Amino acid sequence: MGLRDDVARVLIPEDELQARVADLGQAINETYTDEDCPLLVCVLKGAFVFLADLTRHLKVRHEVDFMEISSYGAGTKSTGVVRILLDLEQSIEGRHVLIVEDIVDSGRTLAYMRRNLQTRGPASLRVCALLSKPSRREVDVTLDWVGFEVPNEFVVGYGLDYAEEYRNLSFIGVLKKEVYAQGD
């Protein structure tokens, strides 16, 4: 019973996810110094689970802040027009900024964020994305760290939702077609 029954198959099991997140944390530890004190910018809502695990693998001094971005348009397809629903609490001028994303699909959200944050004068701007769907890319965006490349399937779990549910699954799964077909 429950959300697990709506998943056709597990794409990335919990242990693989956790091992990869630890690797990403290690790579970030090796990139920054305590003096850099990077600011991790979590892109809500999807990245909150990834950020929570990633931050606990960091030994380097750092801070976290949050942004919420939304794309206009109904349905599952993004129109490419994005707006800020929640902005950072603090200034990033002269700061080392690391954007933490759950998934990069068309690349439009990230392209917008990069452009927007760059105008605020950060000392550096990098991106760590847990998942990337290269087959869906419409805009070329640079990703400094990627956890996994995934096929063009409807993935949920570990922060990723369908209609705001499934974010709490501890693995990445492919949603059964009949679940989202009835919502379109």
Helix and strand numbers (H, E) in the chain are 4, 9
State yes or no: residue 132 binds ligand PRP (CB under 6 A).
no
Q: Which stretch binds ligand PRP (CB under 6 A): 50-58, 102-110, 142-150, 170-178?
A: 102-110
Catalytic residue, from 23, 65, 87, 105: name it. Answer: 105
The reply to whether 144 belongs to the active site is: no
* Residue closer to ligand PRP, measured from CB, 98 or 104: 104
* Cis ω before 177 (30° cut-off from 0): no
State yes or no: residue 155 binds ligand PRP (CB under 6 A).
no
Residue type, 171: F
16 phi/psi in degrees, rounded to 5 = -70, -40
State yes or no: residue 116 binds ligand PRP (CB under 6 A).
no
Q: Is 149 exposed, middle or buried (0-12, 13-18, 19+ CB in 10 A)?
A: exposed
Give 101's Cβ-side CA count (13 Å radius). Answer: 27
State yes or no: residue 150 binds ligand PRP (CB under 6 A).
no
Please state, in angstroms and rounded to a whole number, the distance separating the CA atoms of residues 180 and 164: 12
- Could you tell me the smallest distance in angstroms from the CB atom of residue 173 to ligand PRP? 16
- Could you tell me the smallest distance in angstroms from the CB atom of residue 89 to ligand PRP? 18
State yes or no: residue 131 binds ligand PRP (CB under 6 A).
no
State yes or no: residue 103 binds ligand PRP (CB under 6 A).
yes
Compute how many other C-beta atoms are within 10 angstroms of the C-beta atom of residue 150.
20
State yes or no: residue 43 binds ligand PRP (CB under 6 A).
yes
CA torsion sign, 119 to 124 to 130 to 133? positive
Q: Which stretch binds ligand PRP (CB under 6 A): 16-24, 28-36, 41-49, 57-65?
A: 41-49
N-term to C-term CA, the chain: 24
State yes or no: residue 100 binds ligand PRP (CB under 6 A).
no
State yes or no: residue 161 binds ligand PRP (CB under 6 A).
yes
- Residues engaged in binding ligand PRP (CB under 6 A): 43-46, 69, 71, 78, 101-110, 161
